[in-house]
Structure 1
Amino acid sequence: MPVLKQQVFRLIALVQRHPGVVAIFGFVSGLASFLLVERQAELAQVLALVMLVSWLWLILENVLRERIAHWFGFELPPPLLRYATQMIHQESLFFVLPFFFITTTWNSGQLLFSGLLASAALISIIDPLYYKWLAPRRWLFLAFHTLALFALLLTALPIIFKLTTAQSYPLALAAAVVLSFPSLYTVISAKRWWRWLVLVGLMTLLGGGGWLARIWVPPATLWLNEVAVSTEMNDAQRAPVNPLKTISDTQLHQQGLYAYAAINAPRGLNERIYHVWRHNGREIERIALDIHGGRKKGYRAWTHKQNFPADAVGRWQVQVLTEAGQMIGVLRFQVVQ
């Protein structure tokens, strides 16, 4: 047993001397999973499962530490536990970055979420920021911890269990909120009965905020390969004819308009999506599409809108949303007089 203990600490010391290796491993494993998912490879599921199992360590840290002391006769030092937590944050954040970067609609509010993930990943590998600025602020560390877990669940659940976005988003949100309870419990130091009301209130606020912000959260396994608006569709080729960015008000009312989107879904599509037509920021119509299956160049779907307001001049958007309300992408065009 002393030999095993010595080898464990030697490995830990080696990793501590090269902290960037953990971040590189997380990013490479995430990129590998992203590429392998497209080929339906089982290794992608294994990598995602490894990430989730590492989080069980954080959740059951105290229990596992006691068991290790009982079984192997030595206690893990606190600095080692802190480093293990940082290592899991690094692995998780760099693992999910490839998924979110490819699925983010960068000219939308999703930029904030993906930018926040990138900032969190950067903080996790800079020790002065992580240990001297983040860790001492318990509320901020809690938010950081919950964000990393939420992003990991959004990515891993569809890969491991082949869930739709309508299933994975509320499940990931609920799991992140429930598993944040131990951290919230340590932050609120009051010992009175109303402590439990505060805890329930904070968890409700966290869950409600996450649900309202879902349109800003990219669907980690769905993205648009091609988008276009056109006055005509080629049914044989299932493709738009002469895509446009600008259309006259007269032509719009005479011919209507097609909104076309090719959705890349490496796990396959088996859910309802929506085309939400917006005029100058105001929702005009929401059209549902039930889609099944997938293809390498994306599942091709379109809607044809003919009923436009009398005054249709201005900026238009067609948001492609999942049933959970996450935005896969957006089409933009201008109507002029």
Structure 2
Amino acid sequence: MDYCKNIIAKFISAMQKRPGLLAVLAFLSGVASFALVDRKESFSQVIAIFLLISWLWLIIDNWLRDKVEEKFGVAVSPNVMRFALQMVQQESLFFALPFFLAVTQWDHPQAIFTSLIVLCAVISVIDPFYYKKLAKNRTLFSVFHNFALFVVLLVTLPILLNLTTSQSLAAALVTAVVVTLPSLNNLMPNAPWWRFPILVLILCALSTAVWQLRSYVPPAALRLTDITLAHEVDLQHKKPVGSIKQLDSYTLHHQGLYSWTAVKAPRGLNEKIFHVWLHNKKEVDRITLNINGGRELGYRAWTHKVNFPSDSVGKWQVKVVTESGQLIGLTKFTVTP
């Protein structure tokens, strides 16, 4: 027991004396996760479990430190606990980041969400700001931590449970809300009783707002590897013949257009997606497709549109979206007189 006590004491002392070194190690761990884009499911599962444990750690922070001091006679600094949480947050954010960077349409509002992930990841490795500003504000720290949980669940749930993108978004949002509820009392320990239900209502309102803005959240598990417009598809090789970016109205009405897409998804995932045709930013058609995950170059599928408005001249878009309206990718073409 004395040996364990000495080891723990030395470890804690080293952490307190060399926070810069440990921060560098944590940052390198995050960079390693960022580089490992082709991850195994078991790795994703470990990260998700670690993050859930770290949230529990946040809730029982004081109790856990008291137990360690009682058992080993070592007073654990709150900064030590914060550092452990910081490492998990870094790993979670940097783990999820490459998935979102790969699927984000940067000319779409979903770029805001991915930029927020980048910002949080950067904050997690800037110790002066993290410890002096974020960690000392329990409300901000709780929001930051649960956002990291929300982000990593968006990535791991489709991989681990084969949930669709819509189901994963709903499950991640509900989980983030549920795990936030116990911490509300810690955020206002001496507040009147009526403030708790008000905060719960505010939390529910924010969750509803996030759901309404779900189109801003990139579908982390689905990546559009190719999208092509053509007059013909080679059925034997399942490839489009040629590529069209501009055509005249006569050709459009007499030949129609194929929208050919290849969407990469995790193995075992079955997802319903839509080809949404827009003319001058107005939706004119929505065609359903079912895709299956697992193919390296993406699941190949196409739709053939032959019914176009009589006045089809103008700018067109074909968006590939999920059942919940999250944008997977898009292409554009122009129709001339």
Task: Verify same fold: TM over 0.5.
Answer: yes
Q: Sequence identity, in percent? A: 44
Among 11, 19, 26, the residue aligned to 1:22:
26
State the shift of 1:4 in Å.
2.7
Kept in 1, the 8 Å contact 2:267–2:292? The answer is: no
- Count of equivalent residues: 333
Give the structure-2-normalised TM-score. Answer: 0.88
Structure 1 spans left out of the alignment, 5+ residues: none
- In structure 1, what is the Cα distance between the partners aligned to 2:44 and 2:113? 24
Distance 1:318 1:159, change over 3 A: same
Query: What aligned pairs does 1:124-273 form with structure 2 within 5 A after superposition?
Result: 124-135=124-135, 139-187=139-187, 191-273=191-273
Kept in 2, the 8 Å contact 1:157–1:168? The answer is: yes
Q: Aligned partner of 1:191: which letter?
A: A
Q: Cα RMSD between the aligned structures? A: 2.5
Select between 209-218 and 78-87 the one with higher mean Cα deviation.
78-87
Q: Aligned partner of 2:58: which letter?
A: L
Distance 1:68 1:259, change over 3 A: same
Kept in 1, the 8 Å contact 2:158–2:266? The answer is: no
In the alignment, is residue 67 of structure 1 matched against residue 67 of structure 2?
yes
Distance 1:23 1:209, change over 3 A: farther
Give the structure-1-normalised TM-score. Answer: 0.88
State the shift of 1:47 in Å.
4.5
Kept in 1, the 8 Å contact 2:228–2:331? The answer is: yes
Kept in 1, the 8 Å contact 2:246–2:333? The answer is: yes
State the shift of 1:305 in Å.
1.3
- In structure 1, what is the Cα distance between the partners aligned to 2:43 and 2:144? 28
Distance 1:30 1:252, change over 3 A: same
Distance 1:73 1:106, change over 3 A: same
State the shift of 1:170 in Å.
0.5
Kept in 2, the 8 Å contact 1:214–1:326? The answer is: yes
Give per-residue Cα distances to partners, 1:62-119, cap 9 Å, x unaligned: 4433433343333321222233333332222112111111121222122111111111
State the shift of 1:142 in Å.
4.1
Residue aligned with 2:108, SS: coil
Structure 2 spans left out of the alignment, 5+ residues: none
State the shift of 1:138 in Å.
5.2
Residue aligned with 1:260, SS: strand
Distance 1:69 1:15, change over 3 A: same
In the alignment, is residue 4 of structure 1 matched against residue 10 of structure 2?
no
Kept in 2, the 8 Å contact 1:52–1:156? The answer is: no
Select between 261-270 and 181-190 the one with higher mean Cα deviation.
181-190
State the shift of 1:139 in Å.
4.9
Give per-residue Cα distances to partners, 1:155-194, cap 9 Å, x unaligned: 2222333322232110001111222224444445773343
Q: Aligned partner of 1:178: which letter?
A: V
- In structure 2, what is the Cα distance between the partners aligned to 1:14 and 1:303? 62
Residue aligned with 2:112, SS: helix
Q: Aligned partner of 1:234: which letter?
A: D
